[in-house]
Amino acid sequence: MKKNYISNSEESIRMFKSNLIENLSKVHFAVPLFIFVPAIFIFIYRAFSAGVSLLNFGLYFLIGLGVWTITEYVMHRFIFHYHPTSEFGKKIHFIFHGVHHDYPRDKKRLVLPPSVSIPLATAFYFLFALLLTQQLLFAFFPGFLSGYLMYDMLHYAMHHHNFKSGIMKRVKQHHMLHHYQDPEKGFGVSSSLWDIILRSGFTREPKKSQ
């Protein structure tokens, strides 16, 4: 992804002529909470109603979280950072991710709008339904959704909050290097785990001896 410039404006640029499509492409960062927190609790309720034990629920919930981290990494690295060659492909790429790299502080395009997140979550649900029994799916999927929700909220916070210390400061630094140093590294957003495992992270410069 070749960078021409990076704007630090918090305002949204217009991408579509249609007012409807333009509005569907933008969303307040809190909207995913109102959509997915109730969905998570519904799946948790259905899991226990279906007779899932507390142990199995905890296990598959954590597996769901883990699968989300892999999904986040794969989508960011191989889909959002795919380099199309056709002009149409470049336009699609800009709409889905290029705009975020050009305008990383755009408040309305930092979390996925419901027009994208709901169909995507539905597609993943039916994919996992092919692999898991209904009982285990009801335990696994709220973990997966929780991972996605943490990703969305953390991503917004990284671009709009100044963390003074602790793990969130390191997580933010990792993501800021992706934006401002090298967009072809550091694909993990909520976690740098898979960047470490797959060696796509940023190497630390050795400390100079005194």
pLDDT single digits (tens) 157-190: 898 888 877 888 888 888 989 988 888 999 999 8
148 part of a folded domain: yes
51 part of a folded domain: yes
User: Mean pLDDT throughout 185-197?
Assistant: 90
**Any idea which residue has 């940023």 for tokens?**
202
91 part of a folded domain: yes
User: Mean pLDDT throughout 122-147?
Assistant: 97
Quick check: 69 and 194 in contact, CB under 8 A?
yes
104 part of a folded domain: yes
Q: Which residues, in sequence order, are CB contacts of 33 under 8 Å at separation 6+?
A: 149, 153
Number of domains, the chain: 1
DSSP per-residue letters across 30-64: THHHHHHHHHHHHHHHHHHHTT--HHHHHHHHHHH
Query: Residue 63: is its pLDDT beyond 50?
Result: yes
User: Mean pLDDT throughout 83-111?
Assistant: 86
169 part of a folded domain: no
Structural domain that includes position 73: 19-164
45 part of a folded domain: yes
184 part of a folded domain: no
Question: Of the ranges 8-12, 21-25, 34-38, 67-71, which one carries the lowest mean pLDDT score?
Answer: 8-12
What global pTM score does this model have? 0.90
